Amino acid sequence: MNLSRKYEKLINDMSDENLLPDTELGILKTLHDERKQMFAKEIAEELDCSYQLIGKRGRNLAERDLVARNENENGRRVFKISSAANELYFSETLGDQMDFGDD
């Protein structure tokens, strides 16, 4: 069975505008998994990269309404995944289960 043919429509239906580079996906996944606001430094530690990179990519994600960039009570920037990003990238439906035909 050729999985690429089986899921071709699903792959083609994925909007190019929703495809993200690895770093941005990593930021979203970290925020999703931690389920809390995080500093760029904390996210950077999880992804083994610089906090400056997280800040820059976080700004891009905020412009797309995928994360909220706010300041905490001490004036430090914090990131939180948006409900839109949670829905778009992390919601699971029955149709999301891949069938590899190995039953």
For domain 20-89, the question of CATH label 3.40.50.720 is answered with: no
pTM of the entire predicted model: 0.74
Tokens read off for 63: 């412009």
pLDDT tens, residue by residue, 59-75: 999 999 999 999 999 99
- At residue 74, the pLDDT reads 93
Residues of the chain above pLDDT 90, percent = 62
- Bridge partners (DSSP) of residue 78 are 70
Residue 58 near residue 95, CB atoms below 8 Å: no
Q: What's the mean pLDDT in 85-103?
A: 69
Count of positions (residues) in the chain = 103
DSSP one-letter code for 7: T
pLDDT tens, residue by residue, 76-93: 999 999 999 999 888 876
